[in-house]
Amino acid sequence: MKSITIINGRAVEIQKTAVGIKYKDRPLSGMEERYEAWKAEQRKEKMLRESITTWGYQKAPSGN
């Protein structure tokens, strides 16, 4: 059985054998690379939103 997992920004092919588990490192494809970059950006935005909420800052009123 083979599966592909992203570990520390690298695509790793995991293959279960009769003896144990074999890991094979391979470069990310273009699509995987863009997806990982997008996912990292989403995590940063989520952390920023949580930090702002925790600190008690709110959006400034936009009245003229």
Averaged pLDDT score across all residues of the chain: 80
| Proportion of the chain above pLDDT 70, given as a percent | 83
CA 40, CA 30: separation in Å to the nearest integer?
15
Model confidence over 19-38: pLDDT tens digits? 888 888 877 778 878 888 89
Strands of the 21-26 sheet, one edge to the other: 2-7, 10-16, 21-26
Domain segments of the chain as ranges: 2-55
Between these two residues, 44 and 61, which has the higher pLDDT value?
44
What confidence score (pLDDT) does residue 42 get? 94
pTM of the predicted protein model:
0.48
What confidence score (pLDDT) does residue 59 get? 62
